[in-house]
Amino acid sequence: MSKLLEGIKVLDVSQVAAVPMAARILADRGADVIHVENPKLGDQFRHLVRFMNQKTGIRSDVNYIWEQYNRNKKGITLDLSQEAGQAVLHRLVESMDVFLTNLRPFELERFRMEYPTLSRINPRLVAGFLTGFGKEGPDKDLPAYDHVAYWARSGIPHRMRALSPVLQGEDVVPPAFMPAFGDHTAGMSLACGVMMALFARERTGKGDEVHVSLFHSGAYQISFDLSGTLVTGEDCPVMDSYDDAPNALYGQYQSKDGRWVLFSVLRPDRYWSRFCRAVGREDLEEDPRFHPVENQLRNRVELRAIIQEIFGSKTLAEWRPILDAAQLPWAPVQSLLEVIDDRQARPNGLFIGYEHPEYGPMEGVTDPIKLAGYPESVRLPAPEFSQHTEEILLEYGYSWEDLTQLREQGVIF
Amino acid sequence: MSKLLEGIKVLDVSQVAAVPMAARILADRGADVIHVENPKLGDQFRHLVRFMNQKTGIRSDVNYIWEQYNRNKKGITLDLSQEAGQAVLHRLVESMDVFLTNLRPFELERFRMEYPTLSRINPRLVAGFLTGFGKEGPDKDLPAYDHVAYWARSGIPHRMRALSPVLQGEDVVPPAFMPAFGDHTAGMSLACGVMMALFARERTGKGDEVHVSLFHSGAYQISFDLSGTLVTGEDCPVMDSYDDAPNALYGQYQSKDGRWVLFSVLRPDRYWSRFCRAVGREDLEEDPRFHPVENQLRNRVELRAIIQEIFGSKTLAEWRPILDAAQLPWAPVQSLLEVIDDRQARPNGLFIGYEHPEYGPMEGVTDPIKLAGYPESVRLPAPEFSQHTEEILLEYGYSWEDLTQLREQGVIF
């Protein structure tokens, strides 16, 4: 079986999360990806695991964050602030199919990497640009991270504000600490945009520019609600407590051992009888307080208390087989260790294993797309710093003398 | 300018959120999408806005949820539980490029819609399947929604558990009420998988099957952390309070008017001096408690209190120009009304306007991908129930007599 993106050459001029992830999605499917790092600083993500070890006390010699975002790539260094570095980049671009970057518009201009420049060099080039707040508007050049641009500014935490059964109203604060969460939505969108442009290129022979912003990715995530605000001119409904939930089978309950059990039933009429039987409370099924379903909606706060009492009577381990057998739409809030061991995880290829030359056998998480004809593969570990600079530059026509000179100028490491 | 997916025919046999969203992403780019609904029940999302109106008291005659997920599609009805309905579906599949569904594996088998069947009818078909928990494993046929499969089971709320400056430890509960949030990540991934398969088909002439699950989409979102758990065998670090945050410029502060201001600074050395000057506290810049940066990390709890005091001294409106001018990576937690009015929103095409035959001019939210050569467009409003059944069936070779018979059998509405 051949690889989906065999022969597709990608230049990944980015760091941290969103664009490296987009490039890795392509790399996992056979694209030849070259990741460009600054010869002095390197990619910030190279060093993050050291900080994580320090913070958490969980020591690991495996730079799993670096691997997760950069497996299957070759790595070179290039100082793009120097003209000589820009010249190397332009020469590479001649042969590329895809160019990806998270540099901001003013940096692209300063470094001669704007789309018109690149497109003149290679009209077949598909160029993908990730920004915090979009390529237009007064804030196009502002620095941005996931939390700021995807998260806070798009209104997501506002919508999540009042969602706890414990807290009420104004006390409830937005969640935070969600590393590289929006980056993954934006990275997937960028990969999708690149595939759209590659598809078009098959038909027209011409490249295109693709733009994705973290802010827009957040707005897309929350578009169910945002589309309402657009039309009604009213802010989204913020539920101040679970009493506002549509029905009592929608929400979370705590088991005897303090675990959260989440139900997501939008139409209780479809699940009510099954639920009552599963939890051994057939007496509730036709209880006039909760039957027919209209009464149940009216008395949902009372019902919620009864259901909490029911769930508090057994541990999660006791509930699992009961709720599964009843085919109810439920799940426990799992820990990450439980996710690793989840019986659906490995049969569905959530992880991919490979032999790392330094760490030995290890695994990473895959993206959620499974093409039957084109499975992902790991052919390369994430690159060491500047590992492939010489190899790549020689491949693209530079001589050993050129390399010595570029190194002396500090253009490469 | 032609449309990216001009001439691409898509059959969307799904309802609610994730798959309709994937199909809409394709539809916004010119694909001819036919949305199939059950002739008795219709798509659940048709009726949700009524419930929303009732719950929120925000009355709207515009079915904005239906529009948001189904603009640019034609709508037909078809009872797929009847053999005659399956025969119609099979005939349509002969001419389709893409088939999308969220029916579960056992339903696909029951309704003769498994990939081998469809692929025999049309070997060029790209078939995209969305499941809750994957196509393999003991839970492949379990019912699932976003909250359950994407959210709780993937560990996301576990990671978000202890993220509030108000709550500590065990009291902190997972957030809930995040309608169609994971559906959008999964929908984008499905659209991306379809584009990958369409790209491959340009080269090979052959179709493929694409699988995406909500559970895997959640694992992908949290893969930064999950990759660590895979390698270390330890659960993710759960921070029990902001005192565990990496530094004081990472987190949220409340302004004088109670608004949350979010900072996301991973490397305080780069922003410390700029921050101190922006907020008018040059005295802190070389304060030995906070300088050099190592001291600042050590004394971050003390610093956090000082920064909260600073932010509490001005309103958000007063802070905005100050923080923007300093180019700090910050954002307020915006309401959805503020998102609509955000100065970056319209210049970057977050919304798309169209003339609705019934509602008049209206707007919807776009997905975050912008291709310069192929802008999105709205050519059709979301379909009325069964609006195009006759048109489509006549187009695909059925006669008026056939239609009468199918209607009598209850196969179409």
Inter-chain touch B348–A213, beta carbons under 8 Å: yes
Q: How far is B153 from chain A (nearest CA, A)?
A: 5
Which string of DSSP letters, residue by residue, matches B107-131?
HHHHTT-SHHHHHHH-TT-EEEEEE
**Tokens standing for B311?**
């932010």
pLDDT tens readout for residues A246-295? 789 988 888 999 888 888 887 888 899 999 999 999 999 999 999 998 89
What does the DSSP 8-state code read for residue A266? Answer: S
Specify the range with the lowest mean pLDDT, choosing from A201-205, B71-75, B165-169, B224-228.
B165-169
Q: How far is B282 from chain A (nearest CA, A)?
A: 22
Looking at residue A382, what is its pLDDT? Answer: 98
**Tokens standing for A155?**
């209104």
Query: Which chain A residues in 200-259 lie under 8 Å from chain B, judged by CB atoms?
Result: 200, 202-203, 206, 208-213, 215-217, 219-237, 239, 244-246, 251-252, 258
Burial B302-341 (b: 16+ CB within 10 A, else e): ebbebbbebbeebebeebeeebeeeebbbbbbbbbbbbbe
Q: How far is A401 from chain B (nearest CA, A)?
A: 36
Residue of B nearest to A6 (CA): B200
> For chain A, what is the mean pLDDT?
91
- Rounded-to-integer distance, Cα B89 and Cα B98, Å: 13
Which string of DSSP letters, residue by residue, matches A309-368?
HHHTTS-HHHHHHHHHHTT-SEEE---HHHHHH-TTTGGGT-EEEEEETTTEEEEEEPPS
Inter-chain touch B206–A373, beta carbons under 8 Å: yes
Looking at residue A58, what is its pLDDT? Answer: 75
Residue with tokens 């692929």: B119
Q: Does B160 touch chain A (CB under 8 A)?
A: yes
**pLDDT tier for residue A50 given thresholds of 50, 70 and 90:** confident
Indicate if the pLDDT at residue A153 is higher than 80. yes
Indicate if the pLDDT at residue A338 is higher than 90. yes
Looking at residue B313, what is its pLDDT? Answer: 97
Indicate if the pLDDT at residue B241 is higher than 80. no
Residues of A in contact with B225 (CB under 8 A): 179, 336
Residues of A in contact with B260 (CB under 8 A): 152, 157, 173-174
Strand pairing of A370-371 and A360-365?
Answer: unpaired
pLDDT tens readout for residues A319-330? 999 999 999 999
Residues of B in contact with A372 (CB under 8 A): 115, 208-211
Indicate if the pLDDT at residue A230 is higher than 90. yes
Specify the range with the lowest mean pLDDT, choosing from A278-292, B130-144, B147-161, B380-394.
B147-161
**pLDDT tier for residue A164 given thresholds of 50, 70 and 90:** very low
Indicate if the pLDDT at residue B171 is higher than 50. no
CB atoms under 10 Å from CB of B246, counted, come to 19
Stretch B244-264: mean pLDDT: 85
Residues of B in contact with A203 (CB under 8 A): 202
Which tops the pLDDT comparison, B157 or B280?
A: B280
- Rounded-to-integer distance, Cα A376 and Cα A369, Å: 9
**pLDDT tier for residue B54 given thresholds of 50, 70 and 90:** confident
- Rounded-to-integer distance, Cα A334 and Cα B152, Å: 6
Indicate if the pLDDT at residue B123 is higher than 80. yes
Say if residues B365 and B48 touch (Cβ distance below 8 Å).
no
pTM equals 0.95
Say if residues A217 and A189 touch (Cβ distance below 8 Å).
yes
Indicate if the pLDDT at residue A168 is higher than 50. no
What does the DSSP 8-state code read for residue A243? Answer: G
Amino acid at A79: D
Stretch A358-363: mean pLDDT: 97
- Rounded-to-integer distance, Cα B271 and Cα B359, Å: 49
**A369 CB-contact burial (10 Å; exposed 0-12 / middle 13-18 / buried 19+):** buried
Looking at residue B1, what is its pLDDT? Answer: 59
Interface pTM (ipTM) of the complex?
Answer: 0.95
pLDDT tens readout for residues B79-96? 999 999 999 999 999 999
- Rounded-to-integer distance, Cα B265 and Cα B271, Å: 7
Indicate if the pLDDT at residue A56 is higher than 60. yes
Residue of A nearest to B298 (CA): A55
**A14 CB-contact burial (10 Å; exposed 0-12 / middle 13-18 / buried 19+):** buried
Of A64, A344, A362, which has the smallest distance from its Cβ to B139's Cβ? Answer: A344
Quick one: what percent of chain A has pLDDT higher than 90? Answer: 75
Which tops the pLDDT comparison, A47 or A11?
A: A11
Residue of B nearest to A211 (CA): B370
Residue among B381, B385, B410 at smallest CA distance from B44: B385
- Rounded-to-integer distance, Cα A221 and Cα B185, Å: 7
